[in-house]
Amino acid sequence: MTKNISIIIIDNFDSFTFNLYHYLQPFANKVEVV
């Protein structure tokens, strides 16, 4: 059984947001920054 995981990250205009994005990519089917 495969789980469909989507993650939305709210961008606070700092580099931590994209560090978190790259960290979470292997664990989710879709990672989106808004």
Query: What is the total count of domains within the chain?
Result: 1
**pLDDT level of residue 14 (50, 70, 90 thresholds):** confident
At residue 32, φ and ψ (nearest 5 deg) are: -125, 135
3-state secondary structure of 31: strand
DSSP letter at 21? Answer: H
3-state secondary structure of 12: coil
Residues 6+ apart with CB under 8 A from 20: 9
User: 34: domain range?
Assistant: 1-34
**pLDDT level of residue 1 (50, 70, 90 thresholds):** low
Beta bridge partners of 30: 6
**pLDDT level of residue 12 (50, 70, 90 thresholds):** confident
